[in-house]
């Protein structure tokens, strides 16, 4: 029984070791996908929470905004390893002291930029530059502090300092990645607005006049007939996204001053999607 219990505990521990990282990764993918989608649809005047995207939708949207940060982190890791090999071969106390001073100075500059957010927070790329500066400075300071303890053991360990600097570095990496996801979502929205031809053409029939005033939208009064319950037809619309029981439509001749139309998916409308395929 003891052997069976021990084996069961090992299996449980093994499963927990897999589930915990997967849960963490899934949570991060969801968050960054949400940040990107929120910035994307905010450009069209839509609160992404009203769209009703699922958790899977947000996770599936996360790879695009994460490509650049992941590539940057990988390249930084490679550069750090190569630099570490060079530094380890020429380890000396004097250069370490100077490097520590420089890293501390850069960290102070980054913290000053953070504290000055009310004054300079509107500067372009502020939300990306500040965490990058603080994170890199904190990582460099932690690395130099680690090498200093190796070169001068009499200083003792600096576990608390290294732990705090690691927290600062990870937090700044998270902040910078979230900012990149936001920028990616906004850039994707602008690309969508410039290439609305990639979205399906929608022909919308309604029972009541919608009073759509955006340029390029054509309204046609349908002829009454037996069984005809729809009175108006609208052309010149594109399907931006399908939400939960609703459609989000934009004019096919869209400008930054236009609006996004939200129509319910119920019996009050009839939707047709026009073919855009090449002729057979």
Cβ atoms within 10 Å, residue 64: 16
Residue with token string 């303890």: 149
Which tokens go with 182? 């936001």
- Tens-binned pLDDT, residue by residue, of the chain (280 aa): 445 455 555 544 544 455 457 778 888 889 999 999 999 999 999 999 989 888 888 888 888 888 888 888 888 888 888 777 777 666 665 677 777 888 888 888 888 988 888 888 888 888 999 999 999 999 989 888 888 887 776 666 778 888 999 999 999 999 999 999 999 999 999 999 998 888 999 999 998 888 888 888 899 998 887 777 889 999 999 999 998 889 999 998 878 778 889 998 888 889 998 876 666 6
Phi/psi of residue 205, nearest 5 degrees = -110, 135
Cβ atoms within 10 Å, residue 139: 21
- Best CA proximity match to 210, nearest among 190, 237, 183: 237
The neighbouring-strand residues paired with 202 are 237, 273
Which tokens go with 145? 């502090």
Whole-prediction pTM value?
0.79
């Amino acid at each position: 029984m003891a052997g069976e219990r021990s084996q069961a505990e090992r299996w449980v521990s093994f499963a927990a070791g897999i589930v915990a990282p997967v849960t963490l990764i899934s949570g991060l993918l969801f968050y960054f996908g949400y940040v990107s989608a929120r910035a994307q649809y905010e450009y069209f005047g839509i609160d992404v929470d009203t769209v009703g995207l699922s958790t899977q939708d947000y996770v599936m949207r996360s790879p695009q905004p994460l490509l650049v940060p992941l590539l940057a982190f990988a390249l930084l890791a490679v550069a750090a390893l190569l630099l570490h090999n060079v530094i380890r071969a020429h380890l000396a106390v004097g250069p370490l002291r100077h490097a520590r001073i420089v890293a501390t100075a850069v960290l102070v500059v980054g913290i000053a930029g953070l504290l000055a957010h009310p004054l300079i927070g509107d500067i372009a790329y502020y939300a990306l530059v500040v965490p990058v500066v603080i994170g890199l400075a904190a990582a460099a300071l932690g690395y130099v502090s680690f090498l200093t303890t190796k070169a001068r053991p009499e200083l003792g360990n600096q576990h608390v300092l290294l732990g705090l600097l690691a927290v600062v570095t990870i937090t700044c990496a998270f902040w910078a990645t979230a900012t990149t996801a936001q920028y990616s979502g906004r850039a994707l929205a602008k690309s969508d607005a410039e290439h609305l031809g990639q979205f399906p053409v929608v022909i919308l029939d309604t029972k009541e006049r919608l009073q759509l005033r955006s340029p390029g939208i054509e309204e046609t009064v349908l002829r009454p007939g037996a069984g005809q319950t729809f009175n108006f037809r609208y052309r010149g619309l594109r399907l931006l996204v399908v939400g939960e029981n609703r459609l989000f439509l934009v004019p096919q001749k869209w400008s930054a001053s236009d609006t996004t139309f939200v129509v319910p998916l119920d019996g009050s409308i009839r939707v047709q999607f026009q073919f855009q395929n090449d002729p057979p």
